[in-house]
Amino acid sequence: MDAELLEPGQRIATLTGMTPAGDIGDALAFSDGFIAEGPTPHAAGETIDATGWIALPPLADLHAHLDKGYTWTSFGQPEGSLDDAISCWMDHGHNHGYAEIKAGARRHLIAALHSGVTAVRSHTNYHLGEDPLRGVRALVELRTQFAGIVDLQIVASPGPSDGPDDLGRAAVALGIDLVGGFPHLAEDPTADLERAASFAEEFKIGIDLHTDETLDPSSCGLAELAARTRHWPAGVIRSAGHCVSLSTQDAETRARTLAAVAEARVSIITNPLTNLYLQGWEHPIATPRGIPPLREVIAAGATLAAGGDNVQDPFNPLGNADMVDVAAELVTAGHLTPAEAWHVSSSGGRAAFGLPPARGRSGDVADIVLVRAAHTAEALAERAPDRIVIRDGQVIAVRRRVVSSVFDLQALPTSPSAPTSEGALL
């Protein structure tokens, strides 16, 4: 069967004819939800001819805000910096009800699934107005609905004035996965970090904080987070999102901080799309990039993941839940290679999430994304319009580009150019 004919729900035993890319060669065999060394007799599923396709690890969005998605229009189409976006949210957030939150979050998760994302970590605020935990409840319900399709981790993120005690305990009871927060926005960042870490320890869950989302080089929350959590057991998640101030600090400070981060097993999550949009409005000339020094993070041995962050809300009117766009920006603005960018957006994210490897190697889980492309760079350059998402050896989503033009109605003309003796075209 040709890969072009695959539809959601079909089970695959073997993929053949692929163009090798990264660690994955021209064939893959699936058996009982794992990658097998070769075709397994009586394995469930069909043999698929994937000529013209490459197989890549599935994508993971490690920093989303499902509770805010698709609000840019209803919140007045704001434009501006992080401070402007926060002000807009404060002005309108109390009107953002449970039904709107759940509908927007579901739309976001469906879009992510179609793009090849099989794991999402989402922050949710304690919302303004009545029922401050409406975002938590909506995401907990969606986590159940998407189970086995898109893994969802929920981070409850109190603001500096919320306090984690009463609302936090209720959020834990509802089933959140991680404790969040915004220490760099607090009047006393160190105290805010301490309350979040202590709360996570009390309930024996991990932590994922918005960290140093500022171009101020004196913001050193990442180093404090590493010092505070370095003694935690290896399996307990501790993540830092954004870490923008790293890009403005001197080399010695960066090196010292990243060494501590690697030792403490803190994962760093970069969010290039939103931070390129939000950061630097006050610097119209030589605008600094809102991206941490990615290659230094990798060289230090720290786990680096990526997030799409915001989808068409006051913090980014252009987000679209497609991690391929994020990976492409890691190349353009972050100066990673295409292979490195896909790794950060896939395997790096899975590691930070706590999921098993899905690299296409024998023994890995049978989760991949088929992309119609010749290599990873082409997949990113053309934004991988044709994708087939496979989880546990089963197709769970198909995305195809359909294009046409008036030229499709005409026979292709003979080229007026002719080869010269040197093989060039005139």
Residue-level pLDDT at 412: 59
Residue-level pLDDT at 359: 95
Residue 333 and residue 291 in contact, taking contact as beta carbons nearer than 8 Å? yes
Which residue is it, tokens 């709360």? 199
Q: Which residues of the chain have pLDDT under 50?
A: 418-426
Using CA atoms, how far residue 132 sits from 107, 146, 170, 171, 361, in Å, is: 22, 23, 10, 10, 44
Residue 17 and residue 398 in contact, taking contact as beta carbons nearer than 8 Å? no
Residue-level pLDDT at 426: 31
Residue-level pLDDT at 95: 85
Residue-level pLDDT at 346: 98
Q: Which residues contact 315 (CB under 8 A, 6 or more apart)?
A: 65, 68, 82, 85, 89, 274, 277, 278, 309
The angle subtended at Cα 262 by Cα 22 and Cα 63, nearest 5°, is 65
Within 10 Å of residue 76's Cβ, how many Cβ atoms? Answer: 12
Length of the chain, in residues: 426
| Angstrom distance (rounded) from CA 384 to CA 400 | 9
Q: How many Cα atoms sit within 13 Å of 202 on the Cβ side?
A: 12
Residue-level pLDDT at 416: 53
| Angstrom distance (rounded) from CA 22 to CA 206 | 32
Domains of the chain are 3-57+360-399 (2.30.40.10), 59-353 (3.20.20.140)
Residue-level pLDDT at 404: 84
Strands (E), 78-150: 117-125
